[in-house]
Amino acid sequence: MIEAYLLHLLILICIYAILSMSLTLLTGYTGMLNLGHAAFFAIGAYASVLLVMAGFPFWLGFLAAGGVAALFGVLLSIPSLRLRGDFLAIATLAFGEIIRSIMLNWTELTRGPLGIPGIPKPELFGIVFDSMLTYFVLTIVVVLATYVVLKYLLDGKFGIALKAIRENELIAESLGKDVKMLKMQAFAISALFAGFAGSLFAHYITFIDPSSFTLSETVLVLLMVVLGGLGSLVGSIAGAIILILLPEPLRFIGLPSSMVGQLRQIIYAGLLIVLIIKRPKGLFGEQWFGGIVSDSS
């Protein structure tokens, strides 16, 4: 029993670690606040589930989850080419809400608020990942792969170019960087991994509905990114571990379950306020030169 509970937490940590790493690529490295990240997570979840339930194999659903989300990432990068930081954030928020509205109303495809139950567990190379342990192995492999790929990209020229955009877009452009293309790639890669996380989430929980992909989901991932440190992959993973485990003791002190949810949100929100006031660079974050200490607009 206790093993199942711990494995459950570990699997959630893995899924959120993928999400927070994908968000820090955009928000931490490139300096673009995305308040619609849960939409990529949702698109991945629905794409994967709809394909697998139509009879396609899991690997195809998983890849399609990333692919479709990445296409929407390219779409969402269009406002980023024109808008200032906080207005871009509002545009991404509106995008997230439009996607949620479509999930709720396009009932022929998504069954709307009823959600999709009975999602099968993944099957790869003849192995069915139906036990907690095997599912944990699957998610940790994806986490490691995500880390390796993002680490490779972000430590290289690509990551340095993204940071240049964050610090000063005009200088990045004057140094010959194709800022538009880089922003589009950043959005696409970020959405790709969020889509993968969505697939893993849906096939783990085996039920999805639009209420799993609200703004508060985005805010939780954002908090992981800010806590871990904007622009740090290790920090994002640490953020996911801390924030998944932090509210767990609330379960054991005998509060009614409705209050646990609210207290959890109060802790998250309070922590976020204290953090950005007292330590905006988080646990592992680096100092932003052009950005986080001065108004770049």
Partner 1 sequence: MVFQQLVVNGIIAGSEYALLAIGLTLIFGILRIIHFAHGEVAMVGAYVAFVVSVSLGLPLPVGFVVAICFGALLGMAVNRFAFKPLRKQHVWIGLIAAIAVSILLQNIIALFFGNEIKTYNLGPVEKGMEMFGFIITKTQVLIIVVAVALMILTWFFIKKTKTGQQARAVADNRHLAESLGIDSEKVIASTFAFGSALAAAGGVLIAMETNLDPMMGLMPNIKAFAAVIVGGVGSVPGAILGSYFIGLTENIGIWYLPSGYKDAIAFFILIVFLLFRPQGILGKKKEGIEQ
Query: Where on the chain is the footprint of partner 1 (CB under 8 A)?
Result: 31, 33, 35, 78-79, 82-87, 89-91, 93-95, 97-98, 101-102, 104-105, 169, 216, 219, 222, 226, 258-259, 262-263, 265-266, 268-270, 272-273, 276-277, 280, 288, 291-297
Give least dist CB 274 to partner 1, A: 9
What is the SS3 assignment for 127? strand
Q: Nearer to partner 1 by C-beta: 134 or 214? A: 214
Residue 294 Cβ vs partner 1, minimum distance, rounded to whole Å: 7
Give the integer Cα–Cα distance in Å for 87 and 119.
37
Least spacing, CB of residue 175 vs partner 1, in Å: 17
Q: Give me the residues paired with residue 123 across strands.
A: 128
Nearer to partner 1, 134 or 296 (CB): 296
Using the minimum distance from each CB to partner 1, give the nearer residue, 84 or 157. 84
* Alpha carbon 204 to chain centroid, angstroms: 16
Q: How far is the CB of 297 from partner 1 (least distance, A)?
A: 5
Least CB distance from residue 172 to partner 1, whole Å?
Answer: 12
Distances (CA, A) of 210 to 10, 65, 68, 213, 221: 24, 16, 17, 6, 17
How far from each other are the two terminal CA atoms of the chain, in whole angstroms? 53
- In the complex with partner 1, which residue's Cβ is closer, 165 or 237? 165
Which neighbouring-strand residues pair with 208?
A: 116
Residue 82 φ/ψ, nearest 5 degrees: -120, -25
Name the minimum Å distance from CB 288 to partner 1: 7
Q: Which is nearer to partner 1, 122 or 210 (CB)?
A: 210
User: Which structure tokens are listed for 93?
Assistant: 């928020």
In this structure, are residues 44 and 194 in contact, taking their beta carbons and an 8 Å threshold?
yes
67 vs 115, which CB is nearer to partner 1? 115
Q: Which residues is 116 bridged to in the sheet? A: 208
* Nearest-10 Cα torsion for 167, 182, 283, 239: 150
Residues 106 and 43 sit within 8 Å (Cβ to Cβ): no
Nearest to partner 1 of 163, 203 (CB atom) = 163
| Residues linked to residue 128 through DSSP beta bridges, in sequence order | 123
Short-list 10, 13, 14, 21, CA closest to 191: 21
CB of 152 to partner 1, least distance (A): 28
